[in-house]
Homo-oligomer: A and B are copies of this chain.
Amino acid sequence: MSGTNSERELIAEGPAIILVEPQLGENIGMVARAMANFGLAELRLVNPRDGWPSEKARSAASKADHVIDQTRVFETLEEAIQDLNFVYATTARERYGFKPVRSPVVAATTLREKFRAGEKTGILFGRERWGLTNEEVALADEIVTFPVNPAFASLNIAQAVLLMSYEWMKTGLDDVAATPFQPVEQRPSTKEQVFGLFEHLEEALDARGYFHPPAKKPKMVDNLRAVISRRGFSEQEISVFRGVISSLDRFPRRWSKKTGSAGEAPENDDD
């Protein structure tokens, strides 16, 4: 479950992620990985405590080298965002002020709209221990905050970046129900195939006296057919079931470990 795959499309666009005075290289690396997972690529650092470049960051980025290699460092937040048109500040704490507060879904939708309109955008994330100052939040256009458990609201920085990156990725999908891969395609069964299963099963059971007493047979058949019908089996599934019935119907049990009594156990049978 790791590493880049050069044969597959590498998505690398969207808002810049700006980390203000990040402390640990590992966190910067995990941020880069989270960004890469969801198609973001532009990482900016304001005054990282342990300097830059950082081998710890590169290692924690799990091969998100395209993010690490392009990371830019700034001395002040003002410099880090001067070329951007619209900036969100992330915060878990209520801030006293008039600035609009958005959920991640709304913020990601706004970022996607601005991206499509050609605007440059960014999302600010604060220090690991205490986030952004009020002065830093004031430089942003709007606030984004996460719908967390009220009694356990602390998200680490890489998790916060992951969630915003994930919501960003989702706004680029035509359908949030879409998945990158699908189950094997199955053809819906025709009624003829369903009736074939009914008859096959009922004949095999009838031959064993399953429908007893005979007066109850119509009701028993009804119930059996109801169980099978409501599952909406595909053509392939009906084929599987008919194979199962044939096997049970035609062949004797060859041997049984438990009782040794049912059928014959051939001498050279492999376990």
Could you list which residues of chain A lie within 8 angstroms of chain B, going by C-beta atoms? 1-6, 8-11, 33-34, 36-39, 62-64, 92-94, 96-103, 105-106, 128-131, 143, 145-156, 158-159, 162-163, 166, 169-170, 173, 176-184, 186, 234, 236-237
A234–B97 CA distance with the chains assembled, in angstroms = 13
Whole-angstrom distance between the Cβ of A222 and the nearest chain B Cβ:
27
Contact call B183/A100, Cβ cutoff below 8 A:
yes
- Chain B residue contacts of A148, Cβ below 8 A: 37-38, 169, 180
Assuming A98-B183, A162-B163, A181-B101, is B2 touching A37 (CB within 8 A)?
Answer: no
- Closest partner residue, chain B, to A64 (CB atom): B152
Contact call B181/A94, Cβ cutoff below 8 A:
yes
- Chain B residue contacts of A36, Cβ below 8 A: 149, 152
Assuming A37-B152, A163-B166, is B181 touching A145 (CB within 8 A)?
Answer: yes
Contact call A147/B178, Cβ cutoff below 8 A:
yes
A159–B157 CA distance with the chains assembled, in angstroms = 12
Whole-angstrom distance between the Cβ of A267 and the nearest chain B Cβ:
30
Contact call B38/A151, Cβ cutoff below 8 A:
no
Whole-angstrom distance between the Cβ of A271 and the nearest chain B Cβ:
18
- Chain B residue contacts of A170, Cβ below 8 A: 105, 147
- Closest partner residue, chain B, to A154 (CB atom): B2
- Chain B residue contacts of A130, Cβ below 8 A: 1
**14 other contacts beyond A37-B159, A105-B176, with CB at 8 A cut-off?**
A1-B92, A1-B128, A1-B153, A5-B151, A11-B150, A37-B152, A38-B147, A64-B152, A96-B184, A98-B186, A98-B237, A106-B177, A145-B180, A146-B166
- Closest partner residue, chain B, to A102 (CB atom): B179
Assuming A148-B37, A159-B159, is B98 touching A236 (CB within 8 A)?
Answer: yes
User: Can you sample 20 A-B contacts with CB below 8 Å?
Assistant: A1-B153, A2-B154, A3-B154, A4-B152, A8-B153, A10-B150, A10-B152, A11-B151, A33-B154, A37-B159, A62-B154, A64-B152, A98-B186, A98-B234, A101-B181, A103-B177, A148-B180, A149-B169, A162-B162, A162-B163
